[in-house]
Chains A and B, each alone.
Chain A
Amino acid sequence: MRYEIRHLAGLRSTWILLTAIGVLSLVAGLTAPLGAQAGKAPSVWTMVTAFQMDAVSLQLPLSALLLLPVATGPVATELLRGTARTTWLTVAGRRMSFAAKLLVGGALGALIALGGAALVTVAAATALAVTGRAQPDWAATLPGLLGYVAFMTCWPIVATAVIALIRNRAASVLLLVLWPLLGERLAQLLFGLVPGLRGFGDALPFAAGRAAMAAGSDTLPEADRALVEGFVGSDLTAASGVSVFIAFTVAMAALGAWSYIKRDAR
């Protein structure tokens, strides 16, 4: 674990990413009260989307996109730079090496989610207090936050597994961006055309992941809720969405481990 932590800590790009997420979290927190009506607290959904830094939260959290280069980095370095021999001859073998990459990636994702959410919370609470507005029901934001943390913990693990399978960083990043945004949508359309298979579309992994992060959308007005549900593209509950995404992550991690362990080093 310490080996992989130091691998990431030794890179300037890691610190640039963390700084960017920190700044975006502060901005998201400080601007959260802007949408609230005077004298009223921001809605739970406003705060849940603020945790995810809003912009593309209904498809993939912005922080997840930012995390992608770091999550794919350790395996990519071994593929492109021939550093696998350094890793495998330093830590006790390939299994240990891959397990450490998954654990550190997952921990970094969780840390980013929790740290970012903490910054959003502090910034938003301060901004609301300064502008004299009511605080939202923070406790009600917890399910959305937990779904987001679960997604962000799993996401680097999926990214590491995908690059271990594909063995090409650019292709892995493209797949990880395009599959949730476009690939699954097309797959859902195709499932919808086949009688009896429509339910499978709800359980596609990233649709399930979006459902996990959409906890709190039930507090929206009817019209807004329908829009959000359309973006999410799954009828699963947040708890079911988390379960499906975790199961998908475990399966991907196993496939990635199989591919990583059986390959040779340059």
Chain B
Amino acid sequence: MAEPTAAAAGSAPGAAVRAEDLTWLRRGKRIVDGVTLDVPAGVVTGFLGANGAGKTTTLRLMLGLITGQGRTTYFGSPLEHWRDPARVVGVVMGGVAGHPRHTVAAHLRMVAAGAGVADNRVEEVLERVGLTATTGKRLEELSLGMAQRAGIAQALLGDPAALFLDEPANGLDPHSIRWLRDTLRQLAEEGKAVLVSSHLLAEMQHLADRVVVLARGRVVAQTAVGDLARMGAEVTVQSPRVADLAEAVRTLGGTFRLLGDGRASIRGISRFQTGDLAAERGIPLHWLDEKALSLEDYYLSVAEEEFRIP
């Protein structure tokens, strides 16, 4: 088959990276169980799961670092069909994986040589991640945050069309987390397919455009973060006649639950619909509030369902 080109990679429509039916067993136990997921270009895809859910193993399977069942294609072709994989996907898995005695500059120049990119690209990526002052430091001397930045610099060397990051916010200080979030958002806006695995749900709510939830090695849900607000917002009302709202809410397909003290929780209809219903029926409202479904609520609900499977 013809060698795919990086240019084609950048312009490929739809899913940039597609993993199909990935399975990996260890001592007969399914650590990754039929995982199928898409990583579209131009968005940040969050890969959520508890510790031990199989996120890192799935990423390694996708990258061919471990062998299992299933298939992953990058812009239509398996990674091993690409002559320069560093131009297709950049990977950050726990800082920078290099010889501890190499300096940052020496390590990146080595990777640049392997990726077939010019040495001046090293300066560009170091500038981008803010590490120009530490080029002479050995990798073993880098702090966690610096190592993470060096890892991102390495991943960006080949200007790949896809980026995979495994728990990139682990151990980072708030400034570095903000920097990471801004950088990844910017890379997605440049058209790259960004896949970020994490168990930090609050962070992912700020960062991801869509999320894939993994529980016990299986994908249990995929959704756009923007859809969460429409999926399960909770409206809280307080009224001296709150019980009179119940039937009207159910008529519109919502759910109604009394909380006591004249308060009730309503799901399935918006606060605007709830307010209109109360006005139509002359029910006075002393409180009307809507809370969107958080990523944490969503994750816990879908993961909880998975854990119920015997």
Contact, CB under 8 Å: A90 / B65: no
Scan A77-92; emit 1 where CB is below 8 A from any B CB, else 0: 1000111111111111
Chain A residues in contact with chain B, CB under 8 A? 2-3, 5-7, 9-13, 77, 81-93, 264-265
B114 and A10: CB pair below 8 A? no
Contact, CB under 8 Å: A264 / B65:
yes
Q: Nearest chain A CB to B159's CB is how many angstroms away?
A: 14
* A85 adjacent to B114 (CB under 8 Å): no
Binding site for A on B (CB under 8 A): 60, 63-67, 80, 82-86, 89, 91, 93, 96-103, 106-107, 109-111, 113-115, 154
When the two chains form their complex, are residues B80 and A93 in contact, meaning their CB atoms are under 8 A apart? yes
Instruction: Report chain A residues within 8 Å CB of B93.
Output: 85
The verdict on A88 contacting B99 (CB below 8 Å), with A6-B106, A6-B109 known, is no
Q: How far apart sit A82 and B166, CA to CA, in the bound complex (Å)?
A: 15
- Give the shortest distance, in Å, between B22 (CB) and chain A (any CB): 14
Contact, CB under 8 Å: A265 / B60: yes
Complex contact B113–A2 (CB within 8 A): yes
B115 in complex: contacting residue of A9, A12, A90, A93, CB < 8 Å: A90
Task: Report yes or no: A83 in contact with B66, Cβ–Cβ below 8 A.
Answer: no
Establish whether residues A89 and B86, one from each chain, have CB atoms under 8 Å apart when the complex forms.
Answer: yes
Complex interface: chain A residues within 8 A of B86 (CB): 89-90
Give, as a whole number of angstroms, the nearest-CB distance from A122 to chain B: 31
Chain A residue with Cβ nearest B115: A90
**Which residue on chain B has the smallest CB distance to residue A84?**
B65
Question: What residue in chain B is nearest A2 (Cβ atoms)?
Answer: B113
Q: Which of A2, A5, A77, A85 contacts B63 (CB 8 A)?
A: A85
The residue in B85, B89, B114 that gathers the most chain A C-beta atoms within 10 A of its C-beta is B114
Residue of B nearest to A9 (CB): B106
Closest CB-CB distance, B96 to chain A, in whole Å?
8
Whether A92 contacts B63 in the complex (CB less than 8 A), given A12-B101, A81-B97, A85-B91, comes out as no
Most chain-B CB neighbours within 10 Å: which of A81, A86, A91, A93?
Answer: A86
Contacts of A10 in B (CB 8 A): 99, 101-103, 106-107, 109-110
Residue of B nearest to A10 (CB): B106
The 8 Å CB contact of B97, one of A3, A82, A91, is A82
Assembly CA distance A2 to B114 (angstroms): 6
Which A residue's beta carbon lies closest to that of B111? A90
A2 vs B154: C-alpha distance when bound (angstroms): 17
Contact B67 A3 (CB under 8 A): no
Closest CB of chain A to B234's CB: distance in Å? 43
In the complex, A9 Cα to B96 Cα: how many Å?
19
- Measured CA separation A82–B60 after assembly (Å): 13
A11 nearest in chain B by CB position:
B101
How far is A97 from B93 in the complex, measured between Cα atoms in Å?
20
